[in-house]
A and B are shown apart, each in its own frame.
Chain A
Amino acid sequence: MMKTTLKEENNDYVMYFEGRLDTATASQVQLDVKPLIDNTDHDIILDCSKLEYISSSGLRIFLSILKSTKANGHHVYIRELSNDLRQVFTMTGFINLFEFK
């Protein structure tokens, strides 16, 4: 149901999300994003072009990535977020926290 791919592009870590990031898949994704949380010297791009759905569990994962990366003085960018999901970001105020590409 949910697939993540981590790539390094132009010295940035890019994580591709594909499918539904709901509570059921969140525990697996939590493990998948460990490298991003542990990362200390790269900006991060979260590619959401194929993300169909995100619930609060998913948002929490995004927030934890943001908190750890910001602590190292790096940026987290969200890329290619669909309008429907952007609305969720807006409702929760997450739109103010992240930088969008």
Chain B
Amino acid sequence: MKHRFRVIRSFSARLSLWVIVTATIILLVTAMVMNIVVREGILREEKLRASYALENAEQHIDGVFIAVETAVKNNVNEIKKNIHAPHEEMYRITREMVETNPMIVGSAIAFEPNFYPDQGRWFSPYSYRDTSSADGDPTTVIHEKQLGNSAYDYPNKEWYQTPRNLKQGYWSEPYCDTGGGEITMVTYSYPLLDDAGNVYAVVTADVSLEWLSQLMDSLKYYDHSYSFVLSRNGTFITHPKQDVVLNETIFSFAEKVGDTKMAQIGKEMVAGKMDMEPMKSPKLGKAFIFYKPVKHTQWSMAIVCSAEDFFKTATQAGILVGTLILLMLLILTFILYKGVKRLSQPLTLFTQAVDEVANGNLQATLPEIHTEDEMQRLRNSFCTMQQSLIQQMEELKRVNEQKGRIEGELKVASNIQRAMLPKTFPPYPDRDDIDIYGQLTSAKEVGGDLFDFYIRDEKLFFCIGDVSGKGVPASLVMAVIRSLFRTLSAHEHHPERIITQMNDRMAENNEQNMFVTLFVGVLDLPTGKLRYCNAGHNPPLLLTEKDGTKQKEFLPCDNNLPVGVMGGWKFALQETMVDTNTTIFLYTDGLTEAENADHQLFGEERMMDVILFATSQKIIDHMTDAVQTFAGDAEQSDDLTMLAIRYSQVQNTVRFHQKITLNNDVEQVPLLSEFVDTVCESLGFDPATTMQLNLALEEAVVNVMNYAYPPDTKGDIHIVAEADDKRLKVTVSDNGMPFDPTTHRSVDTTLSAEERPIGGLGIHLITQLMDSVNYERKNNMNVLTLRKKLPRMEELKS
């Protein structure tokens, strides 16, 4: 099987096969048509030949019968003349008839009953040849006898009645003469009429049909042909099978062998038709029959020939032609296979060359073609392809190198970008009021999402944002936004101002029309007050647990423009109080718009369902799992960023409270110093820290003295020191002009002596010395809150 498939798959074998099949079909059809034509011709020839032969036979038969008739008629006058002569004359006449006509074996003159009254009813002189005699001479032994007697009442016989009634000559049906050996005989009867036209006698001549059998035997052309003669009613007169002669009709025979076709032919023959027909002979099998009537006696002759004999030459010719065809086809196959293989030889070589090219050897040598045909064109095409491949490969190599370089750079960029994000979690291990976890998953090497947070002055500054677009352009904007957030929030704790300034700076040179959706929040950790501003970002989710009931709700957000869309846009501040045990869950649209393979979105509802009340990291890990399960094999299309901030307000009881009120006179500073020393001593601060607190408080109070109250006006400064378990909080308040010292806190400490301004050191020192500094304008008062962590108990002990 395998071998056969291989052969069929070869081009030359297939082409050869097609040609051979076509040639075979054409030759076979031609041979068949020729065979049919030849057979038709043979049949026509044979029919002609048979009809000639039958014609000749008929003429022969006619000759015999006419001769007999003539002989009989010639004796009519002789009989009339001697009608009244002695009866011996009549015997003489019959005797002479037999003697002179060798064909006639017997002759009688049968008179009407009682024609001669002296002769009685029957007078019929009859002479006949004794063919059974031993010496065999047919002429010598002629017997005479009286035919009629009481046992043989001839006037009732057919041979007498029929011509008498018809008043004309009549040939009897053939019959078997049992008297003188089994001889087929036929009798011609001729009526003798008197002047009145009445029949007075019938002259007969018996004719042996031995010669007819011989005649019919001579019509045999082939070894396996035979012939026969039928009488008027279809009885076999001659037939090679002697037992059917005179015993059977063609009809009885046909019935016996069950051949309706033969009966049909019999009818045609008896009807005197002439034709040729195919038939089935019990002796020869498939055969043809030619038949023709013998008009004179209304018989019919037939020749039956074996079809095999007929078409012997045609069959022989057929075998010869078939052999020749087979031989020719074999030669054709051989030549075709070799020829086509030779023609397609270059194809094999091309295959080898192309395989070599496919295996990487682009310089593979192509086979040389010297014919200017399709093969030459194919070679040219291969050559062009080869050249083109070499060029493409080089181009590809170059592009790949470039791509590799870009990928390397992207990787570095990715690392830089990651470094911008908070990456140490938990970020404030020593704080128990805040639990933060954040995670950014980029869709590409670099992305446009960002989040950031840090604590300054007991305020948690945090932001989450999503730059329009993806990849490198977005990552550049992300870096700018992140650095703007840090820079601007260093001196500004109002989120709407941070965003407004960011927006103005970004909108200035925003030729690429990049924008950022950004949420900035500032959570005052001691109080739980959340100030926030949302510039077109997804509203954060608030998860609150209060008195055992859990609640999920979106933080209400104003509809602001994203950052960078329009310079000068006023972003509004929003405020809310965050209860203890509340988690703020911030995210980018990479979460809600995460797609699965069916392009369904993860959506806010699913997010609400999935979200847990747990630690920040658990919330985000669980959400990440949920998104990955949802997305399945679908590729992440957008950056995904989540930031969870869990806030627990520390409700420590105040265990220390002292206050002092000064007026705006620098001479009061020693009182402050005393107050601070007392407080520090009570709380267990070491001398160095006590000095630092002294310094910070003095600077804060002097600032108020110098700037809050105009010169030469009196005013009070209230200083309250409170402490819980963790921190000392000092509040400096006055009801002077609004003055926020924190906006002037930065001093360039690197300037040389000549360049250093004399002022501005105070607030700088306060910031450096205290853990947090907060300014608020409250109830028409400037309120500055300073915090310092208390020394730990173990530090105190040591």
Given known contacts A60-B761, A84-B691, A24 and B750 CB-to-CB distance under 8 angstroms: no
Interface residues of A, CB < 8 Å — how many?
A: 28
A64 CA to B753 CA, complexed, in Å: 9
Q: A26 contacts which chain B residues (CB < 8 A)?
A: 666
For residue A40, CB closer than 8 A to chain B, the reply is: no
Does more than half of chain A's interface fall in helix, strand or loop, or is it mixed?
A: helix
A85 CB to closest chain B CB, in angstroms? 8
Q: B759 contacts which chain A residues (CB < 8 A)?
A: 60
B358 CB to closest chain A CB, in angstroms? 73
Q: Are A60 and B695 in contact (CB under 8 A)?
A: no
Instruction: Out of B691, B751, B754, B761, name the residue touching A56 (CB < 8 Å).
Output: B761
Given known contacts A59-B761, A63-B756, A64-B758, A23 and B750 CB-to-CB distance under 8 angstroms: no
For residue A10, CB closer than 8 A to chain B, the reply is: no
Which stretch from A31-39, A41-49, A88-96 is at the chain B interface? A88-96
A66 CA to B27 CA, complexed, in Å: 128
For residue A67, CB closer than 8 A to chain B, the reply is: yes
Does more than half of chain B's interface fall in helix, strand or loop, or is it mixed?
A: helix
Q: Are A92 and B747 in contact (CB under 8 A)?
A: yes
A87 CA to B699 CA, complexed, in Å: 16
For residue B752, CB closer than 8 A to chain A, the reply is: yes
- Scoring B695, B702, B747 by chain A CB atoms within 10 A of each residue's CB, the highest score goes to B695
Q: Are B756 and A91 in contact (CB under 8 A)?
A: no
Interface residues on B, range: 20 to 34
Instruction: Out of A24, A54, A66, A92, name the residue touching B666 (CB < 8 Å).
Output: A24
- Chain B 505-549 against A: per-residue CB contact (8 Å), 1 yes, 0 no? 000000000000000000000000000000000000000000000
**Complex interface residues of chain B between 725 and 758 (CB less than 8 A to chain A):** 747-754, 756, 758
Chain A, residue nearest B691 (CB): A84
Q: B670 contacts which chain A residues (CB < 8 A)?
A: 1, 22, 24
Which stretch from B398-406, B421-429, B762-770 is at the chain A interface? B762-770
Instruction: Out of A23, A27, A88, A92, name the residue touching B702 (CB < 8 Å).
Output: A23
Chain B, residue nearest A1 (CB): B670
Q: Are A57 and B702 in contact (CB under 8 A)?
A: yes
For residue A5, CB closer than 8 A to chain B, the reply is: no
A83 CA to B695 CA, complexed, in Å: 15
Binding site for A on B (CB under 8 A): 666-670, 673, 687-688, 691-692, 694-695, 698-699, 702, 705, 747-754, 756, 758-759, 761-762, 764-765, 768-769
Q: B750 contacts which chain A residues (CB < 8 A)?
A: 93, 96
Q: Are B669 and A22 in contact (CB under 8 A)?
A: yes
B415 CB to closest chain A CB, in angstroms? 34
Chain A, residue nearest B757 (CB): A63
Given known contacts A24-B669, A91-B769, A92-B747, A55 and B758 CB-to-CB distance under 8 angstroms: no
Q: Are A97 and B756 in contact (CB under 8 A)?
A: yes
A97 CB to closest chain B CB, in angstroms? 5
Q: Are B695 and A63 in contact (CB under 8 A)?
A: no
Q: A96 contacts which chain B residues (CB < 8 A)?
A: 749-750
For residue A3, CB closer than 8 A to chain B, the reply is: no
Q: Are B699 and A55 in contact (CB under 8 A)?
A: yes
A54 CA to B695 CA, complexed, in Å: 8
- Chain A 48-73 against B: per-residue CB contact (8 Å), 1 yes, 0 no? 00000111110110011011001000
Q: A1 contacts which chain B residues (CB < 8 A)?
A: 670
- Scoring A55, A66, A67, A88 by chain B CB atoms within 10 A of each residue's CB, the highest score goes to A55
A55 CA to B702 CA, complexed, in Å: 10
A96 CA to B673 CA, complexed, in Å: 28
Chain B, residue nearest A64 (CB): B758
